[in-house]
Amino acid sequence: MKKILITGALGQIGSELVMKARDIYGEDNVIATDIRKTDSPVVQSGPFEILDVTDAQAMAGIAKKYNADTVVHLAALLSATAEAKPLLAWNLNMGGLVNALEVARELNCQFFTPSSIGAFGPSTPKDQTPQDTIQRPTTMYGVNKVSGELLCDYYYHKFGVDTRGLRFPGLISYVAPPGGGTTDYAVEIYYEAVRKGRYTSFIDAGTYMDMMYMPDALNAIINLMEADPAKLVHRNSFNVSAMSFEPEQIAAAIKKQMPSFTMDYDVDPVRQAIADSWPNVIDSSAAIAEWGFKADYDLDKMTADMLLKLNDKLN
Ligand code: AKB
């Protein structure tokens, strides 16, 4: 039976991954940690510990206390926050990662951490971005993600740690907000559609970015972690995408369900520059071939579900 330690458990991915992992592996076998405690179901439904991931000793102590055999390291700053606070991002994103990898090495744990489409940069091919390609990002977040991918590969080759990762696109969900990301507009738009029937986009018309609905992202994490290691040619990290769209297309998908919905633009130059440096659409074929990645939600199916769930949540 797995004993899974999850950092950043109250974040956008953690809030849902903890609950799903507790369903699959048992409530007591998923140890949620975060720098703060809230009244989230994550805190109420199983073991929870306060943890600052830059504190290596504290992380090792919690992992030993619960005999963790798997580490899922999610705690990180997203792209726009990292651009505003680059030194903090380096210290938190890289310091937290190396601490988590050290725990995995010492306790012989399986290891997962997300990378991102942010690991690509302006010199990367923009369309059907290959699995193995140029990675020269121009953002601090991207520098962290490429360094993280290399570090995870290093721990696999040097120490035999079973490291695995995914290059996530923008993740869309109705449970916990993302916060500080460039793709956040594609989450905000649904909240504002339900609250106000209109949205002002900080990302400009014509900007394509990859996206994925959270249920597909959670399945991708579980399926990759359960995948037969003999079939993995790559490890850190796999391209995975479910859809790619520009702001007009998500607005049009909402309009199909809510004909009165309107959108205009007030472009944020910082987040627009980050978005412009990322691919339009990445190629997920290595993930499909090596461990059977598949996504169930396209833009229309996700939009119908988001609006339904947010109507229940907000009204
Ligand atoms: C962000 O926008 O920073 C994240 C990501 C794509 O990694 N959602």
Give the pLDDT band of residue 297 (cuts 50, 70, 90): very high
Give the pLDDT band of residue 155 (cuts 50, 70, 90): very high
Q: What is the pLDDT of residue 152?
A: 98
Q: How far is the CA of 285 from the centre of ligand 1 (A)?
A: 21
Helix (H/G/I), strand (E/B), else coil: 50:
strand
Alpha-carbon distance values, 306 to 42, 136, 277, 295 (Å): 21, 34, 28, 16
Q: How far is the CA of 61 from the centre of ligand 1 (A)?
A: 30
Q: Report pLDDT digits (tens) over 58-101.
A: 999 999 999 999 999 999 999 999 999 999 999 999 999 999 99
Give the pLDDT band of residue 46 (cuts 50, 70, 90): very high
**ipTM > 0.85 (yes/no):** yes
Q: Which of 138, 141, 207 to mutate to test the pocket of ligand 1 (most atoms within 8 A of CB)?
A: 141
Q: Which residues are catalytic?
A: 141
Indicate which residue's Cα is closest to atom 8 of ligand 1. 170
Q: Is the pLDDT of residue 1 over 80?
A: no
Contact 286, 238 (CB under 8 A): yes
Question: Amino acid letter at 179?
Answer: G
Give the pLDDT band of residue 178 (cuts 50, 70, 90): confident
> Model-level pTM greater than 0.90?
yes
Atom from ligand 1 closest to the CA of residue 114: 7
Q: What value does the mean pLDDT of the chain take?
A: 97
Give the pLDDT band of residue 189 (cuts 50, 70, 90): very high
Atom from ligand 1 closest to the CA of residue 78: 3
Indicate which residue's Cα is closest to atom 7 of ligand 1. 116
Q: How far is the CA of 195 from the centre of ligand 1 (A)?
A: 24
Contact 247, 203 (CB under 8 A): yes
Helix (H/G/I), strand (E/B), else coil: 5:
strand
> Ligand 1: residues whose CB is within 6 Å?
78-79, 116-118, 141, 168-170, 178, 181-183
Give the contacts of 122 (CB within 8 A, at least 6 positions apart). Answer: 136, 138, 276, 277
Q: Is the pLDDT of residue 159 over 80?
A: yes
* Location of structure tokens 């805190």: 43
Residues 96-113 have a mean pLDDT of 98
